[in-house]
Each structure stands twice: as structure tokens, then as C-alpha cells.
């Protein structure tokens, strides 16, 4: 199975917490990601949500997803069509939640990835490319994570392995 995809780069600057992704006041009001979606980066990047296109890649220049372990941060990204997150470092719990929900989270240098650029991600080769040029490399994800992406996340993967599900 191929693990390639194309994305438009959307840059975010500085350390981004899970409360920056989805403000805490909404996390307890709604559990439906579609109801949380309009509040993506509401206080951190006002108006950002209105410019998101399906498949966009969030690219951070610092630590992304520090803070609480609530799954809503990742589900809100997904509800807005975000297809990839790239950062030099991630909050560990958000990193795992991304992969568990089938959102690739790539730790690599982001200096060469500019706002609006169209990039190609090759998970199987561990490369990010633009117009044939390799811009960044990263360790290839282990087969289990690639399977989880292909199967729609951890829960979907488990359901395919449990009889009667």
C-alpha cells in the first residue's frame, strides 16, 4: 500500500498548546468534532478556520500540542479537514492521539516549509518533497502506525481484528 499524500502548508508560529488548538471552554460543551470545528485556533489565530482547505498541513516552527491530553484537539483538526501536522517536536500525548485518530504527525525540521507551499508526503520513504526536491526527511513510521493510518485509526484497526465488530 502506498502512503503518499499532497498538502498545502499552513504555518503556525511559536509553541502551540492544545488550548490554542481548541479553547478549553469548548471542550466540555461539545463532544461532537463538527461542533468544535468552527473554534479551531479561535483565540490563537483568529479567522484561520475560515481559510482552511481539506488536506491542509499544519506546520509549526516549535513544539506543537503541549498541554492537556484531551482528544478534542486532534478531532477538531480532523473535523476541519487537516490532513497532516509537522513540527520539530510534539507534546507526546497529542502526538499519540494524532496517530490513534489517523492524522500523521511528523517530527522534523520545518524551516524549508513555507506558507502556501504544496508539499508531497511519503510516509513509506520518510520524505517531504516539493516539486521534486526533498525538503525534509524523518524516520519512517513503523508498520503498525502505517497500518493505523490506512485503516482509519487505532479504533478502526481494533474493530477489524475483533470478531463480530
Domain ranges of the chain: 4-161
Question: Which range, of 13-27, 42-56, 77-91, averages the lowest pLDDT?
Answer: 13-27
- Residue 157's pLDDT band, with cuts at 50, 70 and 90, is confident
pLDDT exceeds 60 at position 1: no
- For residue 5, give every residue at least 6 positions away whose Cβ sits within 8 Å of its Cβ, in sequence order, or none: 55, 83, 84, 104, 120, 121
Which is higher by pLDDT, 25 or 115? Answer: 115
What pLDDT is recorded for position 2?
67
The 10s digit of each residue's pLDDT in 53-103 is: 999 999 999 999 998 777 899 999 999 999 999 999 999 999 999 999 999
4-161: CATH number:
3.20.19.10
CA–CA distance, 68 with 70 (Å, rounded to integer): 6
Q: Quick one: DSSP state of residue 141? A: P
Amino acid at each position: 500500500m502506498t502512503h503518499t499524500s499532497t498538502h498545502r502548508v499552513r504555518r503556525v508560529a511559536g509553541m502551540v498548546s492544545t488550548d490554542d488548538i481548541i479553547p478549553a471552554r469548548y471542550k466540555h460543551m461539545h463532544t461532537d468534532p463538527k461542533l468544535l470545528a468552527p473554534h479551531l485556533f479561535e483565540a490563537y489565530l483568529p479567522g484561520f478556520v475560515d481559510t482552511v482547505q481539506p488536506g491542509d498541513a499544519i506546520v509549526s516552527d516549535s513544539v506543537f500540542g503541549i498541554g492537556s491530553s484531551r482528544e478534542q484537539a486532534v478531532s477538531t483538526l480532523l473535523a476541519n479537514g487537516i490532513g497532516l501536522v509537522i513540527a520539530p517536536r510534539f507534546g507526546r500525548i497529542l502526538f499519540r492521539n494524532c496517530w490513534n485518530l489517523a492524522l500523521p504527525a511528523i517530527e522534523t525540521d520545518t524551516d524549508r516549509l513555507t506558507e502556501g507551499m504544496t508539499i508531497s508526503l511519503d510516509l513509506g520513504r520518510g520524505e517531504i518533497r516539493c516539486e521534486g526536491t526533498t525538503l525534509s526527511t524523518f524516520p519512517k513510521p513503523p508498520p503498525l502506525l502505517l497500518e493505523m493510518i490506512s485503516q482509519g485509526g487505532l479504533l478502526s484497526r481494533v474493530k477489524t481484528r475483533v470478531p463480530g465488530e
